Amino acid sequence: MEVFKRILGFKYLSIFLAALFLKFFLAPFFFHTDIKIIYDYGQFLSQGVWNIYDFLASNKQEAPFGQFVYPPLTYFISGIFYLVISPLAGMDYSQWLKSTGDAMYSPYIFRYLFLMKIPLIFFEVLTGFLLIKLIRDEKKKQISLILWFFNPINIYVVSIMGQFDIIPAFLTVLALYFASKEKMYLAAIAIGLGAAMKTYPLLLLPFLALSSKKSWFHTIKVFLLGLVPYLVFTLPVLGSKPYHDSVLVSGLSMRIFFLNFSLGFDELILVVFFALFVLLFHAAERKFEKKVVNLPAYFLAVILVVLSGSHFHPQWLIWSTPFLAILVFKKNLVLPFIGIIVGWLGVFSLFDDKFLTLGLLTPLDQGLLFLPTIRDFSKLLFDPVMLQSTFHTLLAASSIWVIYLTLFKGVNEHE
Amino acid sequence: MSMNKLPWLLALFVIILSLVAILFLPLGIKNRLDTRQSERNDFLTLADKKITQGIKVKHDQLNIIILNFRNPNFENHSQFRFQLLSESGEIVVDQLFSGYNLGDPSDLRFQFSPIQQSKEKDYSIILEALSPLETPPVSVAVKTGNLKDWKPISLSDGKIDKTLSFSAYYHASNKKVVMVDFIKGIISKITDDYFFFIGWFLALALVLIVKVRNGAPRQK
């Protein structure tokens, strides 16, 4: 009873309830195969499979969707989620996870989609709690929560697509929280765990280390400690060729190398890394001058550089939204924030993949499969490649402006 | 605007937007499910024997048939033929495809001009390999055993205890019929798993009840 009273007295309860209502409403009706694939492979954990990469390579009949393309912790987490969900989902759930083209016809698909997305919504809510802890001003807390829960990216990635990216995003915010409490070792472990699910948090680790207010030796210790969780989960599979091919050097991992200038003689300038190195030097300079390292701004900058400079998947944008929710308070940040959202919407809706748009509603009617994509419609008026590129350029320009305002001009410096 | 009202307005806005989008969808849908045998527990090789599968169509304007194939490692590039024969043996559809069209596994859509008077008619799906066969062989998804009302596959040397896994769609030109079908389909899906939907409604109701009990947030 006391707990219930405390819940009812929670100052931001209305925002959380509105968010839960919206996400519970949407979750059952939108279906993207990625969530099914992750849970399908996750069920092998309950069968004693520890190295999912070698297992799928040796048992191709169990891998109709190809290899597992995420680092190992994602597999273990999805395995745990599967164990929790499967008793509620019913006896046909395991078989449904293995189905291919006819998965959308299952009469229980709405139940499966809802249950599979609940853990992801849980992490989104947890991140909301962290945002409350990270922001001091009361009104800013409310704005931040509303931005976090109701921005189109979160709604799309968590409630509609059901992507696991919300979990490493949560871990990066957890790292920020620990850093704000000067618990740098815990922050480093959180980053390392995030990297063991999706590799991008490794790019944030140097900036976390540089934000340490102690000695350079402490900075190095924080950096090395952040690598430990990542290595704990990846070292056992590092010798596995399937892991190497499908995760380490996969097409996805290599995308940040694609934007480059040729110097001739087989040498390239890698633009994304160029920008990341500049940011690193900027952060190091702040440390040298014993100034505060604006960690959420650096985290946001790193992520926006990666997104601007690579052919991203739509769910990758959720890596940035918690930090956008923390930083976008000044009026001059609103416009580039909108630019990022519009750019993102334009880019992914013009992908030649109907399952990112109308195809998400196939549980409601399979006739949607035969509708043309938005890209097909756009061909009537404009070259879709140029149109999509324009949107990506908008996202990139907006990102650069946000980075400039938050890092170099010091707008809304986060303490 | 109160910070307590704004999130609820946003939630309501997104929900209404989604519902409107969903209700407008039938206007764009041109193809509807006619009949489907979705169970598959086996694959039948497309080798030297012609595969014949009888189906009964429920609607006029049949125009799409989808089959599921495997082409191991995408290695097979042989040529194949897909045909649809009427009851009288007339070739209604004749399409060629090859291993280049096939994934491992993948659905392949055979789309053709709508067959005007296809309702309640029997047709035969024919699959055969044309060119010299390569290895590994291409195979098509089937259900083995417990065929229920589905017709068995015939090979050159007789019937076998398997039936093709397939979906057939028809071209729906009457938007009113499509809309009615669409709504009926949603109601049917809700009643198929009413247990979940009752739980789901209760979860939403619980959130609203807590909201009502919460009232306005306390200010410091």
pLDDT tens figures, A68-114: 999 999 999 999 999 999 999 998 999 899 887 678 888 899 999 99
* B74 and chain A in contact, CB less than 8 A: no
Please, is B157 exposed, middle or buried when counting C-beta atoms within 10 Å of its C-beta (0-12, 13-18, 19+)? Answer: exposed
Looking only at Cα atoms, what is the longest distance across chain A? 73
Q: What pLDDT does residue A415 have?
A: 41
* B30 and chain A in contact, CB less than 8 A: yes
**Which residues of chain B from 93 to 132 reach within 8 Å of chain A, CB to CB?**
104-105, 107
Task: Please name the residues in contact with B44: beta carbons below 8 A apart, sequence gap of 6 or more.
Answer: B51, B139, B140, B142, B153, B162
* A22 and chain B in contact, CB less than 8 A: yes
Residue range A238-251, pLDDT digits in tens = 989 899 888 887 76
Q: What pLDDT does residue A413 have?
A: 52
Nearest CA in chain A to B210: A8
Residues A358, A364 contacting (CB under 8 angstroms): no
For residue B131, count other CB atoms closer than 10 A to its CB. 11
Please give the Cα distance from A299 to A217 (Å, whole number): 22
Identify the residue whose tokens are 């195979």.
Answer: B139
**pTM of the entire structure?**
0.89
Q: Amino acid identity of A25? A: F
B7, B64, B167 member nearest A14 (Cβ): B7
- Mean per-residue pLDDT of chain A: 92
Nearest CA in chain B to A23: B11
**Cα dihedral value B159, B165, B171, B172, nearest 10:** 120
Distances B111 to A344, A359, A367, B84, B94 between C-alpha atoms, Å: 34, 19, 14, 11, 11
Residues A354, A310 contacting (CB under 8 angstroms): no
* B200 and chain A in contact, CB less than 8 A: yes
A101, A138, A365 member nearest B29 (Cβ): A365
B182 contact residues in A (CB cutoff 8 A): 364-365
To the nearest whole Å, the CA of A173 is away from the closest chain B CA by 22
A146–B105 CB contact, under 8 Å: no
Cis status of the peptide bond prior to B105, with omega within 30 of 0: yes
A24–B66 CB contact, under 8 Å: no
A110–B189 CB contact, under 8 Å: yes
B207–A19 CB contact, under 8 Å: no
Please give the Cα distance from A251 to A245 (Å, whole number): 9
Pairing, β B166-171 against β B62-70: antiparallel
In this predicted complex, what is the ipTM?
0.88
B211–A14 CB contact, under 8 Å: yes
B15, B169, B214 member nearest A13 (Cβ): B214
A8 contact residues in B (CB cutoff 8 A): 210, 213-214
Among A12, A131, A160, A369, the strongest candidate for a mutation testing the B interface, having the largest count of B CBs within 10 A, is A369
Task: Please name the residues in contact with A298: beta carbons below 8 A apart, sequence gap of 6 or more.
Answer: A204, A207, A211, A279, A283, A407
Mean pLDDT per block of 10 residues along chain B (220 residues) reads 84 94 84 87 85 93 93 86 93 92 85 93 93 81 86 87 92 85 88 94 94 64
Residues A399, B60 contacting (CB under 8 angstroms): no
Low-confidence ranges of chain A (pLDDT < 70): 4-5, 8, 101, 251-252, 411-415
To the nearest whole Å, the CA of A163 is away from the closest chain B CA by 19
Residue of A139, A155, A129, A130 whose CA lies nearest to A26: A155
Q: What pLDDT does residue B220 have?
A: 45
State the Rg of chain A over Cα: 22
Q: What pLDDT does residue B218 have?
A: 47
